[in-house]
Structure 1
């Protein structure tokens, strides 16, 4: 894969129609839905299987698998057709949900979430490929479709704790898996009816596919990232020191191989040469670390310290969902009119304010209205930061490469999720108290301040504000 700047073209100002973007978005909700509901369900899972260290691997298994598979899913979609890979992901989601529902032990549940992680990893990269393919085929603008994808993802991620709380409180923790089945069925129906442009036509032969997939690169990429994630997860308990040198050695071997192979799985020279893309991926890692500190930490704190039921904890997080949707729509207009820098400045400033509120409000005695206002503020950065970063990736990559680039975006997000678990273990401990949540809040403040400085100083912010067709020369890919 060679990551290149999307070349300017004269295109129709009309957006990609909703029957295409909506069908693609309906599948992308599975990842944020499962990622956010598990935060509420983990207490019930621990109650059934025992509060052992193995329970935490239910979350980690899903995130590690998704982080590893997302870039490969984008690459496979570009080769075999985004729609085919998208549908295969839906099948795996259903399989994982059924195995998890009837899991007789924690090992089976972890295996179920590995299947689930593989399935949900394919949807966002291939949804973006389908949207871009349609836009190029019919000369439409894809910005509105990207907004649809982000709005659906962010609103469902924010709504997940509420929905998960209602389901767990009413039907038990298994119900968070049941909900995947009708969603996957409806998505499959919509995506098979939709016109997805060039995606899905003329898959290569098996021999050509094996040659183009770069099996050696993948064989090095998988252990490099997997062992890194295992090491990060282990920091909260018994540290797996062996995983760190394995990760470093395989990562170095991966980079050396990818620099010299003619058909790389991930063109590392172009990746690091495309400074706008590499900077965006770095911001994504830090932003999602803070994001998951909020979405893992607060629901558990509400149940342990405020002694709320799962339903009450979920409802308390509901303002995040509503504000996220509004912030994403406003963020899309801000990006269109003022560009990525202003969009990200607003989102990062809101993240800074949210961190200060988490760190300073005495939440064990605060009125419920105050908690709801804090939750509302935390919805602002979700919308602005994600719409800004994902539009940037779309602007600085070609249609053939956007799936893999979005896959890397998802990888950064899930590494951030595992880092968030480590951060909360270090700042809040095994049981989240007021003091622990305050420490987590100060961590968010520090990271947000670093991000804010980075956005202000960055010279790689993609196309100039208000004109996506004339790329800023600072964002044009610089090939090594």
Structure 2
């Protein structure tokens, strides 16, 4: 983020009138920007129902679990860098490059002869999917500022597409895996890549299609030492979290601490920092949102990893049946995102996040109390409906806050940091699921997981209620720096 950002939350207190008289970004532009962003939630959610089939083919459940970890580690590391590159080279150019990487990773994964090759393929794929949301945000903000439009509706579109696809992913993945085998969750990426490339290349995206710098000049403008320190700090942190599932690699923890300290030290002194940590400290609304995002996503992925595995292991469902059981989450997520956007616009982020977090707490209690193995499918469907509510409200609330407190030059990197927090949360969820449920998710393990979600959500509710860095005056994003 840029050093010129000198105040923590001046943009946060913008009134409703700042965007009330401005028109929405055209539908074709909104959906062009959203087209590539669906690849990340699609792949992250489909893998949950494919992991059993992959393990059956390669005969290594321990090694297969590294596919998920490798994907999330790579995305967490690359997302902020992708936002920064979009500012330097052009958001559209970087966006399309990400589509190319997704296609390459998917093709390689379909024909991977071993687990290590499949993991490598998912690393390439993850590099691609890390690009899209940060640069989509940059594109819609640039369009809004150039043509004097409000970006709130575009943000709702981005979040709604992401949340609906994330919730629909287990169902779609289950149908694909059950019908065509696990490789089908990779080839489904190819038509999405083609359609997204056509949409983005044909759309007017507010002048962000060409970067400010050439590739050579951008390399000089990048804070390479800062990026290197960030890579080591985040990667060692994620690897340490992953190792907690079996035999903890404790030496990675001091490595992470040392390199994180060096990263902060360097960024405070860099002329053009990769992430302006001083501005991040001053912008407490953004810092608090990133911390809240990490915790929220930990609970989110506990649900999306735990329940499909439990349905297959303990209820004896096929991948298709497990996916269909999760279908109500998809419908409710779409509805909750639209309702959450209206709630944010009218009542601000505090009410929006309180509703989403309370629903998450209720969902955790339901998971903990329902008689899992004997519960009728209709009861499971009702639980799934409740679990769809927090997806919409929490994500629209947190991402709208990020959009509100950053400028167009900052928003790509900030959303990248948002993604980093989300995927650290995903790895925390993998570790937590191992601790609460073990290698095979049975009824008792699912109940313990539900109580964990409920307890964490209760603490989040207290934090949101007493937070001093959000207020009911935060009703819309700022249209302009």
Pairwise TM-score range, normalised by the shorter structure: over 0.9
CA 429–16 in structure 1, closer or farther in 2 if over 3 Å, else same:
same
CA distance in 2, matches of 1:206, 1:188: 21
Task: Report the alpha carbon displacement of residue 354 of structure 1 after superposing the two structures with TM.
Answer: 0.2
Equivalent in the alignment of 1:435: 444
Task: Report the alpha carbon displacement of residue 206 of structure 1 after superposing the two structures with TM.
Answer: 4.2
Write out per-residue CA displacement over residues 317-345 of structure 1, whole angstroms, 9 at most, x where no aligned residue.
00000000000000000000010001001
Q: Give the alignment's TM-score, normalised by structure 1.
A: 0.96
What is the alpha-carbon root mean square deviation over aligned residues? 1.6
Matched, 1:319 2:328: yes
Matched, 1:50 2:65: no
Equivalent in the alignment of 1:2: 2
Does the 8 A contact of 2:83 with 2:134 survive in 1? yes
Matched, 1:421 2:430: yes
Does the 8 A contact of 2:347 with 2:472 survive in 1? no
Task: Report the alpha carbon displacement of residue 52 of structure 1 after superposing the two structures with TM.
Answer: 3.8
CA 25–206 in structure 1, closer or farther in 2 if over 3 Å, else same:
closer
Task: Report the alpha carbon displacement of residue 282 of structure 1 after superposing the two structures with TM.
Answer: 0.6
Equivalent in the alignment of 2:46: 37
Matched, 1:460 2:445: no
Task: Report the alpha carbon displacement of residue 469 of structure 1 after superposing the two structures with TM.
Answer: 5.3
Q: For structure 2, which runs of at least 5 residues remain unmatched after alignment?
A: none
Task: Report the alpha carbon displacement of residue 201 of structure 1 after superposing the two structures with TM.
Answer: 2.4
Equivalent in the alignment of 1:65: 74
Matched, 1:200 2:209: yes
CA distance in 2, matches of 1:29, 1:165: 18
CA distance in 2, matches of 1:468, 1:436: 42
Write out per-residue CA displacement over residues 337-367 of structure 1, whole angstroms, 9 at most, x where no aligned residue.
0100010010000001000001111110001
Equivalent in the alignment of 1:133: 142
Write out per-residue CA displacement over residues 419-467 of structure 1, whole angstroms, 9 at most, x where no aligned residue.
0000000000111110100000011011101110011001111671545
Equivalent in the alignment of 1:250: 259
Q: Secondary structure at the match of 2:268?
A: helix
Write out per-residue CA displacement over residues 180-206 of structure 1, whole angstroms, 9 at most, x where no aligned residue.
000000000000011111312244134
**Counterpart among 293, 301, 309 of residue 292 in structure 1:** 301
CA distance in 1, matches of 2:378, 2:402: 38
Does the 8 A contact of 2:361 with 2:458 survive in 1? yes
Equivalent in the alignment of 2:230: 221
Task: Report the alpha carbon displacement of residue 415 of structure 1 after superposing the two structures with TM.
Answer: 0.4
Does the 8 A contact of 1:28 with 1:123 survive in 2? yes
Q: Secondary structure at the match of 1:260?
A: coil
Does the 8 A contact of 1:395 with 1:462 survive in 2? no
Q: For structure 1, which runs of at least 5 residues remain unmatched after alignment?
A: 472-476
Matches within 5 A, 1:151-230: 151-230=160-239
Does the 8 A contact of 2:86 with 2:211 survive in 1? no
CA distance in 1, matches of 2:43, 2:472: 34
Tell me which stretches of 4 or more aligned residues in structure 1 moved more than 6 Å.
none
CA 16–6 in structure 1, closer or farther in 2 if over 3 Å, else same:
farther
Q: Secondary structure at the match of 1:241?
A: coil
Equivalent in the alignment of 2:375: 366
Task: Report the alpha carbon displacement of residue 6 of structure 1 after superposing the two structures with TM.
Answer: 7.1
Equivalent in the alignment of 2:338: 329
Q: Secondary structure at the match of 2:375?
A: coil
Equivalent in the alignment of 1:405: 414
Matched, 1:375 2:381: no
CA 363–21 in structure 1, closer or farther in 2 if over 3 Å, else same:
same
CA distance in 2, matches of 1:179, 1:296: 21
CA distance in 1, matches of 2:18, 2:345: 17
Matched, 1:111 2:120: yes
Q: Secondary structure at the match of 1:33?
A: helix
